Amino acid sequence: MSYVGPDFDPPRPRRSRRGPLTLAIAGLVPAALVGWLVYEAVADTGGGPAGAAAPPTSSPVSGSATASPSDESATAFPSEDSKGRAVPPSPASTTGRAAGSGSLKGKVVVIDPGHNPNNFRHTAEINRKVNIGTNRKECDTTGTSTNAGYAEARFTLDVARRLRTILQDQGATVKFTQDGDRPWGPCVDERARIGNEAHADAAISIHADGAAAGDRGFHVILPASVHSGTADTRPIAASSRALGERIAGSFVRVTGSAPSNYLGKGTGLVVRDDLGGLNLSTVPKVFIECGNMRDSKDAALLTDGAWRQKAAQGISEGIVSFLHG
């Protein structure tokens, strides 16, 4: 997701803080070293020196990349395998499906695939301001895309569906905020409300960034301790951090991707107080930016089905670790 528009304004500069993940990342270094070397070897074949990328096409208000009406991501689409072939979607939708047996039986996970493939058709609706607890922002944005036109909304749905399958196979009840089955949105306040009303044991919002070329890697966004207006994240700030740390650690290990080189001071963690999806949450919740769609090397990963399966697996292992305590 681009850091422009609702829930995506540029984060204010923060002084570096050493948190619990510092030790966690240190502990992961031996296990992740081989994956990181493979990551660099593969990424170095992805193109020449990083230069300034062409700026994303912007919508009048949100400033996020806008899909073309002819872009296939403008309509609901199935998941894809590593060769881009369609995989029929799971029958579960926003209501989830009955949990099977497994170690996560009785646990509820809410997955929030960022944006919506059809948002660009509903600019009036998504530009409407909603309460995010501390102030008001636009309902939603169109999201960003790779320079070749692979939309963030397409990426988030694919990873979310893969993640759902993994968690359901372990017995969890999984609910979506949207499954490509809505004409637009939902708004950021509703996305938070869906997790709250489900009494989720964990919630995650899946995104990809739209930063400058040369900015690479993933980062997990944690809610700051906010107590202002209708927002009060104090009860879930610590548990959300624990969730985010587990996800960041497993994402490094499973995908071989490195933490962001432009946010988070190498920890893979960023704390923000300006996101309605976090400010309004009453359950443990984090966002993950899986990579930068505007960097050619990250884009090569984000558009690869095999890597997206690793991303889903990495996220799932972090969630499972958190839920098992």
Residue 190 lies in a domain: yes
Contact 103, 161 (CB under 8 A): no
Using the predicted structure, report yes or no on whether residue 149 has a pLDDT greater than 70. yes
271 within domain boundaries: yes
> What is d(CA 321, CA 325) in angstroms, rounded to the nearest whole number?
6
Average pLDDT, the chain: 79
Mean of pLDDT values over 139-167: 98
The pLDDT value recorded for residue 79 is: 54
* pLDDT, position 102: 81
H or E element: which one contains 291? strand 285-292
pLDDT, one tens digit per residue, over 179-198 is: 999 999 999 999 999 999 99
In this structure, is residue 70 part of a structural domain? no
152-169 vs 305-324: helix axis angle to the nearest 10? Answer: 50
Mean pLDDT of 260-287: 98
Closest to 179 in 3D by CA, of 193, 194, 169: 194
Mean pLDDT of 28-56: 36
Q: How many Cβ atoms sit within 10 Å of the Cβ of residue 273?
A: 17
Of the listed ranges 67-71, 121-125, 275-279, the least confidently predicted one is 67-71
Q: Are 165 and 313 spatial neighbours (Cβ–Cβ below 8 Å)?
A: no
Domain assignment present for residue 89? The answer is no
Q: What is the model's pLDDT at position 64?
A: 33
Number of domains in the chain: 1
CATH number of the structural domain spanning residue 172: 3.40.630.40
Of 63, 277, 311, which Cα lies nearest the Cα of 178? 277
pLDDT tens column, 65-119: 333 322 333 333 455 554 555 554 444 343 444 444 589 999 999 999 999 999 9
pLDDT value at position 153? 98
pLDDT for residue 12: 40
Residues catalogued as catalytic: 289
Cis peptide before 186 (omega within 30 of 0): yes
Determine the average pLDDT of the residues in 300-309.
98
| Torsion 61-204-251-90 (CA) sign | negative
Q: Residue 307 belongs to what domain range?
A: 27-46+94-324
Assigned domain for 2 exists: no
Q: Which residue has the higher pLDDT, 95 or 223?
A: 223
The answer to the question of residue 239 being in a domain is: yes
Q: Can you tell me the mean pLDDT for 309-322?
A: 98
